Homo-oligomer: A and B are copies of this chain.
């Protein structure tokens, strides 16, 4: 599978052609709907997407060369990017990012991500592209905040950036139905991550 710039997330979404934009939107929605279903990745095919979106298969193939490229673009359209942290303090930046990640739990298509990660072993190429094009750019935003905190002295100099990242992301993507986390959860996670749970001096 060769990757061209046409297949990257965001590519081809420039304005100017309303009809093809409407078709694209319908294709992306159909892909997400299928992906959220019980059969997950296995249930997504160019045929099924075309039928559900009410477009011809050629319309899809004009933009996406295969199912994997379409799925990655669809996921990118939901997951989007994290907000740019304001940069005044690491605590505030982490909170902005945590609140953004927490809010995403309530999005309609959150289940799509579960299904893609859940079938990582079965569809390793798709998962690798999803990681590279959708997830890693988001994680880089968090890593940059952590690294800046080390530089400014707000964070421990010996911090393991990826472990800290995993704790933030892991806590906020914990596997519970979306309505189960208490009020103030993202704030409490950031505070706990910063201060730790050990008693001072213990």
Contacts and interface: CB of A to CB of B under 8 A. Distances in A.
Interface string A146-181: 100100011111011011101101111111110001
B199 A153 contact: yes
B197 A156 contact: yes
Size range of the chain A interface in the assembly: 35 or more
Number of copies of chain A assembled together: 2
B198 A182 contact: no
Contact of A199 (B120, B154, B167, B174): B154
Contact of A192 (B119, B127, B174, B196): B196
Contacts of A91: 198
A185 B163 contact: yes
Contacts of A153: 199, 202
A145 to B, nearest CB: 11
Contact of A173 (B155, B175, B200): B175
A12 interface: no
Given A157-B199, A197-B194, A202-B155, A114 B118 contact: yes
Interface stretch (A26-34, A35-43, A53-61): A35-43
B189 A167 contact: yes
